[in-house]
Amino acid sequence: MASQSQTQVIATTTIPIVTFDEIDSTNAEARRRAEAGEAGPLWITALRQNAGRGRRGRSWDTGQGNLAATLLTTTDLPPAEAAQISFVAALAVADLARSYVPADIVGLKWPNDLLVAGRKASGILVESGRRPDGRLWLATGIGVNLAHAPEGTERPATSLALNGASPPPTPRQALERLSEAFAGWIGAWEARGFSAIAEAWTVRALGLGGPCVARLGAETVEGVAEGLDVDGALRLRLADGAIRRITAGDVFFEGA
């Protein structure tokens, strides 16, 4: 649950921010607010999470000086289309990173991992649910390693500070830049559809055109990553020439 040390609600760009000193997780708070009827848009951020979560149930350690934030929104889109906000978020996080470190070391790995100099620097978790009016609430949780990178992670991690951001942005500065970038990409998505997002994501993507291993629960699939399908699925060409659509799972590329 949220700590009583909630400090303020401030408007940045056009989206207000609710800040906590400590909370279980910003996504959990977004869910509570959504289930209580709040529609957003609203940013929820905390200096510390004591039960942060990543994709596939993994824990996420925010670390002092790093960013933990969730954007709560409401949409009329069906769930499959609404989930494309994950790619929108990835582009916004990449813009944030490129504001503080050299652009040529910033890339994206399917579906939404930010890589800086080949190491993971961010995580994105999108959760959703139905409101009583039938619309869908979305909680787009974003964690970014600004000042510190966790140790002992499954994949090597890094931070903006380790790649030239000296000093790194504060969580507030980073969230303001992220909110600005997010608003821009949301506008592109709404105006031009997912194709605009897919095109921009592909420009920043690492590993496309090369060997890829996809771990899908009990199954492992190998092939060549050809790019995004129209809905954001990863197109994997198998050795026999067939195309396998990857919609969920862990993917690994050579050098990414």
Q: 150-159, pLDDT tens digit by residue?
A: 887 778 899 9
Task: Write b or e for each residue in 213-236: b if 16 or more Cβ atoms lie within 10 A of its Cβ, otherwise e.
Answer: ebeeeeeeeebebeebeeebbbbb
Backbone angles phi, psi at 84, to 5 degrees: -65, -10
Q: 194-228, pLDDT tens digit by residue?
A: 999 999 999 999 999 999 999 998 899 999 999 99
Mean confidence (pLDDT) of the chain: 90
Q: What sign does the dihedral 204-187-45-141 (CA atoms) show?
A: negative
Q: Which domains does the chain have, with CATH numbers?
A: 6-204 (3.30.930.10), 211-253 (2.30.30.100)
The whole-angstrom separation of Cα 111 and Cα 93 is 13
Q: State the pLDDT at residue 5.
A: 41
CA atoms within 13 A on the CB side of 212: 27
Instruction: Give the confidence band of 8 by pLDDT, cuts at 50, 70, 90.
Output: very low
DSSP conformation class of 39: -
Q: 167-181, pLDDT tens digit by residue?
A: 999 999 999 999 999
- Residue 83, pLDDT > 80, answer yes
Q: What sign does the dihedral 228-105-192-137 (CA atoms) show?
A: positive
The whole-angstrom separation of Cα 82 and Cα 29 is 20
